[in-house]
Structure 1
């Protein structure tokens, strides 16, 4: 585990959420002192604590450990995809179009996507 990346990321996440060490500690049943040690790299948490931190901050364990690309970009993309899916589900016209003749319409959508990518 890259302790520097881990320490930096948990400190950054806490700052982004505007939380004190005490507030995080209360939410995770950990002492503020131990959280301070994790944030400064003076101590390494157990895997169970890393899992709790990931869940608390709603990020992946890979992100905390510095083993993936920037989580914010992934979260932003996920939110855009989720919004798009909600829009499609709410639109009877799009839903009916897709399910009227799925095979043909999926091909139309794929061709449309290919055209958009080509026109970039």
Structure 2
């Protein structure tokens, strides 16, 4: 990933996640307890969010912070973070098994 694309991934994913939720910038700002101008700056890649702002935005959008920051390709499923590590490993095993069966 180039520096310019890594710099803009947060802005792109923030906008996409907001639009998937059917929210405008003001609605997201209200849910995240932020100013609407901050959302506009983040989406235009004019400002970088603090860790706390990333956390608030992720919670308001029902996605992980890792997703917004570009560390995950996509959200696996909602409420993934609420599962225990053992449960996540079990689900991943099922996914891997199903994906393997699809290749036969």
TM-score range, shorter chain: 0.5 to 0.7
**Which is further off, 15-24 or 34-43?**
15-24
Higher relative contact order (CA 8 A, sep 6+): 2
TM-score normalised by structure 2 residue count: 0.67
What displacement does 1:119 show?
8.4
- Structure 1 residues 118 and 60: CA distance shift in structure 2, 3 A: closer
User: In 1, Cα distance between the equivalents of 2:69 and 2:13?
Assistant: 8
Determine the structure 1 residue equivalent to 2:26: 22
Question: Does residue 31 of the first structure (1) align with residue 35 of the second (2)?
Answer: yes
Match of 2:46 among 18, 42, 56: 42
Determine the structure 2 residue equivalent to 1:75: 77
Instruction: Write out aligned runs for 1:1-120 (5 A).
Output: 2-71=6-75, 74-75=76-77, 117=101, 120=104
Aligned length: 81
What RMSD in Å do the two structures reach over aligned CA positions? 2.5
User: In 2, Cα distance between the equivalents of 1:31 and 1:118?
Assistant: 47
Q: Which has the larger radius of gyration?
A: 1
In structure 1, runs of 5+ residues without a counterpart are: 79-112
More helix by share: 1
In structure 2, runs of 5+ residues without a counterpart are: 81-96
Q: Deviation per CA, 1:62-119: give whole Å up to 9, x if none.
A: 1111112222xx128x7xxxxxxxxxxxxxxxxxxxxxxxxxxxxxxxxxx7xx8498
